[in-house]
Amino acid sequence: MAVITDTEKTQIRGLLERGLTNPVRIIHFTSYEQSLTQSLLVLPAQAQRYYEETRQLLAEVASVSDKLSLEVHDFAADPEGVGHYGIDKIPATLLVKDTNHRVRYFGLPSGYEFSTFVEALVDVSRGTYTLFSETQEKLKLVIQPVHIQLFTTTH
Amino acid sequence: MASLAYSMAIASPWVTADVVEISEFAELALKYGVIGVPMTIINETTRLRGSLSEANFIEPVVKAGTDRSS
């Protein structure tokens, strides 16, 4: 069963067709039952469904535009990728343009956060952002890594 | 809030923005003492509860990004 309704798909197709200018790679880290079984971890059925639903949602989003590509990595089987992207929990989704992989979402981007996620795809693609000029000036003062973790809920 | 954090990560090469659906990461809720959302953690040290205006959000980001002792 599709995670995104046909109506939603039509809406985001319009938004993404108008908005996307450069390709965006959606890099996703997940877990599969098989690999976890091999490492003797037992994945509860609820978590499996959550991972599956997240993968399906991303596949459906990626399918609406040829400027989007989806790369799915198995967290347990890809320590190199996990290390390269600094992934410490899953499901993890990175919106990547060129070398910028600093826009990240952890969890299933549904509910209230779905529109934020789609808008972020457009902003990453275009390299655009919505900040007051004062904020932009202050941000130029930043000269060392800043890690923002924003905890939210989709319902 | 999420859009604001993402905007900062697009605008500055020094900023990484994670939006975390907290109900799926219960151990993080315990670790950071999250009792309500939104809640923002900056560089593991600064904890900001509730919704923030852009002006109030940028201040701790700049502090973390310029503090030479961190």
- A81 half-sphere exposure, CB direction, 13 A CA radius: 17
Q: Tell me, what DSSP letter sits at residue B36?
A: S
User: Over 80: is that where the pLDDT of B69 sits?
Assistant: no
Tens-digit pLDDT profile for residues A85-134: 999 999 999 999 998 999 999 999 988 889 999 999 999 999 999 999 99
The per-residue pLDDT for A118 is 95
Residues of B in contact with A148 (CB under 8 A): 5, 8-9, 15-18, 40-42, 61
Q: Both tokens of residue A73?
A: 């990595």
Return residues 14-53 of A near B (CB < 8 Å).
50
**Number of Cβ pairs < 8 A linking chain A and chain B:** 174
ipTM of the complex: 0.96
Span A2-27, mean pLDDT?
91
Q: Both tokens of residue A149?
A: 């973790």
pTM of the shown model: 0.92
- Alpha-carbon span B23 to B20, nearest angstrom: 9
Query: When comparing pLDDT for B56 and A7, which is higher?
Result: B56
Tell me the torsion sign for CA atoms A80, A81, A84, A90. Answer: negative
Tens-digit pLDDT profile for residues B16-35: 999 999 988 888 888 998 88
Residues of A in contact with B66 (CB under 8 A): 141-144
